[in-house]
Amino acid sequence: MKRFALLLVICMSVCASAQKFEGLAPTPPMGWNSWNTFQTNISEKLVKEMAEALTAGGMKDAGYNYIVLDDGWEMKTRDKEGNIVWDPKKFPSGMKALGDYLHENGFKFGIHNCAGTKTCAGYPGGRGHEFQDARAYASWGVDYLKYDWCEHGTANAQETYKTMRDALYAAGRPIVLSICEWGNNKPWEWGKDIGHLWRTTGDITDCFDCQEVYSMGWKPILDMQIGLEKYAGPDHWNDPDMLEVGNKGLTLAESKAHFSLWCMLAAPLMAGNDIRKMSDDVRDILINKEVIAIDQDPLGKQGYQFMKHPGKEIWAKELSDGKWAICIFSTGEDKLKVRLDWKHFWILKGSYEVRDLWAKKDLGKTDKNFESEIPSHDVILFKLSPVK
């Protein structure tokens, strides 16, 4: 009997720790991440300037509330006790002070590290130090951990990310776990019980459809999301990587289409541009609240490719209260002539009010055909609401 009681106690404590913090990401996380523009050139000063710009430019109000420090905040070696330490030249006030600053200014604090022995930029990784690092992150007030996959050796991905999940849970502070394993081991099949989001591909870069050695443009990344829609939902999102909206390799149309399609995918919306210097046109893309509402819809359904023709794709996303988002994407090099007869959308039931979310215009009901032209690599994004 005594032995049974002991086993029960052990099982209860193990079982209790074998879980993620639930409910931290009911809708896809939104924020800003340093990597796409600054790589490892990051500092306390930069973070504070970005927080000010996010606030002043309306981004915080639009929902961008995580500020995530990506690779390069650490010293190149751990201290004698094996603790991970920040670079005091870049972060003279330290991580706890930075966390306090972000919280006082209405933001949440995100940080990056890696499940392998080193991060991709060569800083100390978390392997073998998971519980120690999780306690450090919790003590600094971290709210979001992006956990990368460089230098993982022969480690098993699922087990490795489980260890970090358990370490975060044991540290006691609710922290979103962003699995950044690049889709190598199909994290959509096992990520739901471990993290709140998981990368589905290698890195994004600021072009429409280029392919580099370790990175690619947003169009090939979009293509790789096809079929993954069934794995996403509240608190467990597919992550097609951060936004390149406003970065130099994209035209304004490509930035707008990229943003629209990431919203159709219910993707995490992590801006990756220099918020301090963006043009009004770029800001208008990032803070279009009606478009963001498609991404953040509480039903939490990822959109899917409804139809594909040469030069044209149509994406559909089911929304709450019987509404739908429909995105027409001009994929070719020439402008696309579109004529939509809504009767061909068999997913629709009855009559809907149609709104063009970029033109911010009501277009009448679905009994009327829609005709227009869409420039190359641009989109039209509609919200359809059932007629009451």
Catalytic residues: 148, 203
The number of C-alpha atoms within 13 Å of 214 and in the hemisphere containing its C-beta is 4
Q: Which is nearer to ligand GLA, 67 or 357 (CB)?
A: 67
Q: Which is nearer to ligand GLA, 1 or 213 (CB)?
A: 213
Length of the chain, in residues: 388
Site for ligand GLA in 194-233 (CB under 6 A): 203
Q: Quick one: which segment of 59-67, 116-124, 282-290, 314-322 binds ligand GLA (CB under 6 A)?
A: 116-124
Q: Dump strand ranges (E) for the chain.
A: 30-33, 66-69, 108-114, 144-148, 176-179, 197-199, 203-204, 215-216, 237-239, 269-271, 304-309, 312-318, 324-330, 336-340, 352-356, 361-365, 370-374, 379-386
Say if strands 108-114 and 66-69 run parallel, antiparallel, or are unpaired. parallel
Report if residue 120 touches ligand GLA, rule: CB under 6 A.
yes
Question: Which runs of consecutive H residues, i.e. helices, occur in 241-279?
Answer: 252-264
Q: Decide if 318 contacts 302 (C-beta within 8 A).
A: no
The count of chain residues that interact with ligand GLA, using the rule CB under 6 A, is: 10
Least distance in Å: CB of 112 to ligand GLA? 6
Q: Which is nearer to ligand GLA, 57 or 116 (CB)?
A: 116
Q: Decide if 62 contacts 269 (C-beta within 8 A).
A: no
Q: Quick one: which segment of 13-21, 113-121, 256-264, 272-280 binds ligand GLA (CB under 6 A)?
A: 113-121
Least distance in Å: CB of 280 to ligand GLA? 28
Q: Quick one: which segment of 115-123, 272-280, 325-333, 371-379 binds ligand GLA (CB under 6 A)?
A: 115-123
**Cα separation of 313 and 379, whole Å?**
10
Q: Which is nearer to ligand GLA, 57 or 246 (CB)?
A: 246
Binding residue (CB under 6 A) for ligand GLA from 59, 69, 102, 180:
180
Report if residue 35 touches ligand GLA, rule: CB under 6 A.
yes
Residue that the structure tokens 């597919």 belong to:
238
Binding residue (CB under 6 A) for ligand GLA from 71, 143, 206, 229:
71
Radius of gyration of the chain (CA): 22
Residues that bind ligand GLA (CB under 6 A): 35, 70-71, 112, 119-121, 148, 180, 203
